[in-house]
Amino acid sequence: MEMMNELLEKYFRGETTLQDEKELKQYFSTGNVSSEHEIYRALFDVFRQELSETNVRPVSVALPDQKRIKRTWIQTFAFTGIAATLILLLWIQLPQYSDNYAVIGGTRINNAEYVQRYTEKKLTRVNHMLARSMKPMQSFSKVRKNMQPLQNLSDVRTKMDEIQNKLQFK
Amino acid sequence: MESTQFNTQILNHSDKLFRLAKSILRNADTAQDAVQELIMKLWEKRKQLDVVENMQAFMMRSMRNLCLDTIRQQHDEDELPVEFEYVEPNPYQQTEQKDLALRIHMMIDNLPELQRTVIRMRDVEGMELSEIAYITSLTENAVSVNLSRARQKIRDQIINEQKKVEETVWK
């Protein structure tokens, strides 16, 4: 009791150590408090009560970590690149189910082999027709070839004129 | 300082910071705002925090300074006195404030800012005098003086109230 009185006096003078104050807190937290000290029990209860008070609003940092931003951007770029590559590969690899057809004589033909044979046949005919049309042209070239000596005649004539001119002067 | 380190070293002290802010500002909402503001400021300067030796003391000091700035700003805007002395409750208030613990809580709240900060840091948080001296920018001796004054004031008020209660009973 006497010791507790001294300790309390020291406490109110601000001379107690943390260990002394711990003892006082323990003393007042038990049900074994002397009646003359009962008056201070509420004071130590308040200290204990206040220590249990917490910040109910969660504290958060609104600003994102710079490193995390960089990582996110790198990841975003990587994922975008991978996704684009995959789409491209799929587009190349997948069979093309396109609606390719030809219209022959007003009829829609989906059989590619038939269309190919039909086209070849028609092209052969066009080739024959062209060859026949070009025949007169071949004759023209023959005529031009045969006319070649006639062109030399004009050269001979020019030379004869020159010689004649020379002879007249003399 | 990395974000995980920041979380463990700083966000874990948020309750302690809140109690200090509430003690100075005497308002839970304003105290919560102040804690959030401090955390944001510390986050912005997290690269400089690596050199801090006693993180708890540094944060408590920053918290106190921020709260005092808030009080000064409020004082400028509202032109209200920052501190007010403890006024004993009238009989009507006394019957309303039956709880002695609540009255003691008010007694501490009505101490001058420095005294209530010092008494709470010591008696609630259990901090060393050297830490309190750093947080309050005082010498250890000045902290001891403020602590004893605060405790003595509270003791006197408790004794006075007890006397009044006894007088009322005997009448």
Question: Does residue A125 surpass a pLDDT of 70?
Answer: yes
Is the Cβ of B37 closer than 8 Å to some Cβ of chain A? no
Q: Are residues B3 and B59 in the same domain?
A: yes
ipTM of this predicted complex? 0.81
Q: In the predicted model, what is the mean pLDDT of chain A?
A: 81
A120 part of a folded domain: yes
Count other C-beta atoms under 10 Å from residue A84's C-beta. Answer: 10
Question: Tell me, what's the pLDDT at B1?
Answer: 67
Give the residue from B19, B49, B82 where a domain finishes: B82
B115 Cα to chain A: minimum distance (Å): 12
- We report the CATH number of the domain holding residue B69 as 1.10.1740
Question: Tell me, what's the pLDDT at A139?
Answer: 78
User: Does A62 sit within 8 Å of B101, measured CB to CB?
Assistant: no
CA B104 to CA A28: how far, in whole Å? Answer: 16
Beta bridge partners of A102: A109
Question: What is the per-residue pLDDT across B19-63, written as a single tens digit (0 to 9) for each?
Answer: 999 999 999 999 999 999 999 899 888 888 888 888 889 999 999
Q: Are residues B35 and B63 in the same domain?
A: yes
By C-alpha distance, the chain A residue nearest B99 is: A42
Q: Are residues B99 and B149 in the same domain?
A: yes
Q: Are residues B99 and B123 in the same domain?
A: yes
- A22: containing domain: 2-51
Question: Does residue A147 surpass a pLDDT of 90?
Answer: no
Is the Cβ of A62 closer than 8 Å to some Cβ of chain B? yes
Residue scoring higher pLDDT (A100 or A26): A26
pLDDT (average), residues A57-83: 67
Question: Tell me, what's the pLDDT at B12?
Answer: 80
User: Does B120 sit within 8 Å of A50, measured CB to CB?
Assistant: yes
Question: Tell me, what's the pLDDT at A10?
Answer: 94
A11 part of a folded domain: yes
Give the residue from B18, B50, B82 where a domain finishes: B82
User: Does A46 sit within 8 Å of B108, measured CB to CB?
Assistant: yes
CA A18 to CA A30: how far, in whole Å? Answer: 19
Task: Give long-range contacts, CB 8 A cutoff, 24+ apart: B28-37.
Answer: B30/B70, B31/B67, B32/A55, B32/A56, B32/A57, B34/B63, B34/B66, B34/B67, B34/B70, B35/A55, B35/A57, B35/A59, B35/B63, B36/A57, B36/A59, B36/A60, B37/B66
Residue scoring higher pLDDT (B148 or A88): B148
Q: Are residues B93 and B162 in the same domain?
A: yes
Confidence of residue B96 (pLDDT cuts 50, 70, 90): very low
- We report the CATH number of the domain holding residue B117 as 1.10.10.10
SS (H, E, C) B122-164: HHCCCCCHHHHHHHHCCCHHHHHHHHHHHHHHHHHHHHHHHHH
A170 part of a folded domain: no
Is the Cβ of B124 closer than 8 Å to some Cβ of chain A? yes
Max mean pLDDT range (A20-29, A137-146, A160-169): A20-29
**Domain count for chain A:** 2
Question: Tell me, what's the pLDDT at B57?
Answer: 92
Alpha helix stretches (DSSP H) within A111-147: 112-146
Q: Are residues B108 and B60 in the same domain?
A: no
Question: Tell me, what's the pLDDT at A129?
Answer: 85
Is the Cβ of A59 closer than 8 Å to some Cβ of chain B? yes
Give the residue from A31, A51, A71 where a domain finishes: A51
A60 part of a folded domain: no
Question: Does residue A87 surpass a pLDDT of 90?
Answer: no
Is the Cβ of A21 closer than 8 Å to some Cβ of chain B? yes
Question: Does residue B64 surpass a pLDDT of 70?
Answer: yes
Confidence of residue A124 (pLDDT cuts 50, 70, 90): confident
By C-alpha distance, the chain A residue nearest B123 is: A47
CA geometry: angle at B27 spanning B150 and A57, to 5°?
A: 120
Of A49, A60, A65, the CB nearest to B101: A49
Question: Does residue A127 surpass a pLDDT of 90?
Answer: no
- B63: containing domain: 1-82
Between positions 114 and 133 of A, the ones with CB within 8 A of B are none
CA B109 to CA A153: how far, in whole Å? Answer: 135
A17 part of a folded domain: yes
Give the residue from B39, B54, B82 where a domain finishes: B82
pLDDT (average), residues A58-70: 58
- pTM given for the model: 0.61
Question: Tell me, what's the pLDDT at B142?
Answer: 96
Which DSSP string corresponds to B46-94? GGGGGG-S-HHHHHHHHHHHHHHHHHHHHHHHH---S-----PPPHHHH
Question: Does residue B80 surpass a pLDDT of 50?
Answer: no
A70 part of a folded domain: no
Q: Are residues B20 and B74 in the same domain?
A: yes
Question: Tell me, what's the pLDDT at B120?
Answer: 96
A168 part of a folded domain: no
Least confident among A109-118, A134-143, A151-160, B154-163: A134-143
Q: Are residues B69 and B144 in the same domain?
A: no
Q: Are residues B1 and B72 in the same domain?
A: yes
